[in-house]
């Protein structure tokens, strides 16, 4: 895995709806900008060798860092793969939609649910939203949220941005009734 850089973002919401948020609602994102392992190969039928060479390493790198950046127990999480313009969306999907990648974060967060994801192709500076859901029960509405990310110089055409997001809580000031009230 060839990594150009790693970016860590931490957001704390201290006021929402004109009211204090106590404790502050904290969300962390850690992104690795890596070389696309399939760059310059044309259409690659078998993505398995690139997955084997990359997915677990990038998953391990990001999982530890996002939990550390959050600085609190993880309650909600999500992932992203943003492919540079010379790649295919399938290249990003191949790296993040495998247990070799996701199990690092599930273990670090003591999670059991699937990680919600965004995948897209775009130029450097593309804006993307990482969806988050509760780590053990995806039906818990308070934890359905997203965080917007933009990296000014990534991805380059032959790169992929791989990112993990973690939240220490649900949405600030959430007040929706539980899903069970509608069933």
**Which CATH number fits the domain that encloses residue 38?**
3.30.1330.110
Q: Check if the beta carbon of residue 113 is closer than 8 Å to that of residue 137.
A: yes
Report the pLDDT value the prediction gives residue 9, as an integer from 0 to 100: 98
* pLDDT for residue 183 is more than 90: no
**Phi, psi torsion values for 173, nearest 5 degrees:** 60, 25
* pLDDT for residue 127 is more than 80: yes
* pLDDT for residue 175 is more than 90: no
Averaged pLDDT, 113-130: 97
Averaged pLDDT, 127-142: 94
Report the pLDDT value the prediction gives residue 176, as an integer from 0 to 100: 78
Averaged pLDDT, 114-141: 96
Report the pLDDT value the prediction gives residue 128, as an integer from 0 to 100: 98
Q: Which domain holds residue 43?
A: 3-182
Q: Check if the beta carbon of residue 67 is closer than 8 Å to that of residue 109.
A: yes
Strands (E), the chain: 3-16, 19-35, 76-83, 117-121, 127-134, 145-150, 159-167
Averaged pLDDT, 147-168: 98
Report the pLDDT value the prediction gives residue 167, as an integer from 0 to 100: 97
Burial class (CB in 10 A: 0-12, 13-18, 19+), 53: exposed
- Give me the number of domains the chain comprises: 1
- Using one digit for the tens of pLDDT, what is the confidence trace for 54-94? 999 999 999 999 999 999 999 999 999 999 999 999 999 99
């Amino acid at each position: 895995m060839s990594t150009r850089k790693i970016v860590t973002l931490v957001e704390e919401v201290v006021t929402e709806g004109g009211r204090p948020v106590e404790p502050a609602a904290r969300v962390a994102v850690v992104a690795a900008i890596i070389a696309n392992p399939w760059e310059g190969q044309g259409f690659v039928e078998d993505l398995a060798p690139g997955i084997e060479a990359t997915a677990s390493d990038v998953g391990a790198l990001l999982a530890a860092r996002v939990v550390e950046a959050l600085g609190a127990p993880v309650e909600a999480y999500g992932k992203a793969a943003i492919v540079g313009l010379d790649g295919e969306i399938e290249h990003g999907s191949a790296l993040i939609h495998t247990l070799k990648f996701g199990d690092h974060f599930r273990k670090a967060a003591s999670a059991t649910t699937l990680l919600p994801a965004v995948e897209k192709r775009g130029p450097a500076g593309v804006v993307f939203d990482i969806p988050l859901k509760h780590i053990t029960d995806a039906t818990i509405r308070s934890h359905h949220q997203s965080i917007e990310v933009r990296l000014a110089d990534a991805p380059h055409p032959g790169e992929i941005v791989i990112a993990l997001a973690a939240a220490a809580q649900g949405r600030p000031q959430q007040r929706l009734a539980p899903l069970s009230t509608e069933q």
